[in-house]
Amino acid sequence: MTDLPSARPVVLITGAARRVGATIARTLHGAGYDLALHHRNSGDELAALVDDLEQARGAGTLTLQAELADVDALPDLVNETVRRFGRLDGLVNNASAFFPTPLGTVTTEQWDELFASNTRAPFFLAQAAARHLRDRAGAIVNLLDIYAERPLPGYSVYCMAKAAQAAMTLALAHELGPEVRVNGIAPGAVLWPETGHAQASRSDIIARTPLKRTGTAEDVASAVLWLLRDARFVTGQVIRVDGGRSISV
């Protein structure tokens, strides 16, 4: 148990070892946050990230490993964070499974995996964190997807899971107000999936995006920072960080 709460605000980030999650961690750490950084199987990458962060600003990080499909393990992520830092000011639900599920081939195992990471874990983490966030007038940010509103063919289960997470964002904003703000970010083309999306498909997506380019992980991370730190009268909103793609036909 820590003797005194950290002097800096504390945020728990899931899926923090790589890609957008790692960029969110770097951005928040640079803005003065202490961080609890979760991973599932990316221990080496998270260790390298933590080494970079602590070289830049001494201590202020906690590494957590868990399988988010294990609901019983979720309260421990919150409890270990509070035990280490004495407070919890923010929760960023970033971890997400993403893979195709063409209709006619979908299994219950695929359904469970996609809903576990994209809907069930964020909900039960929010539930476990709620009392600590209330103490700090904190905030939750859920990483959503524009496909929650405009489903991607062949990815029906993922899209449904993200739609459920978007509904959860609005519901929790009601449940946890007025102390806790709950918002979501729906990125467009920021980082391409590590599998799929041929070059022709990528070019078509960019051509139909008003800003005619992909975004960056930093674009998403800066929106997360704004929602956590600066957007004091914003709750129950989904911010589309997509270059205008969601308004395209």
Catalytic residue set = 158
Number of H helices, E strands in the chain: 8, 7
Cα gap 73→249, rounded to integer Å:
42
Cα gap 88→210, rounded to integer Å:
38
Cα 43–Cα 48–Cα 51 angle in degrees, nearest 5: 120
Q: Give 10's strand partners.
A: 34
> What are the strands of the beta sheet with 238-241, ordered from one edge?
61-65, 34-39, 10-13, 90-93, 139-143, 181-187, 238-241
Residue 233 DSSP label:
T
Cα 235 to Cα 48, 68, 135, 176, 196: the distances in Å are: 34, 25, 17, 10, 34
Alpha helices by DSSP H, listed for 17-96, are 19-30, 43-57, 74-85
Cβ(148)–Cβ(190) below 8 Å = no
Report residue 41 CA to chain centroid gap.
17
The encoded tokens of residue 97 equal 């499974």
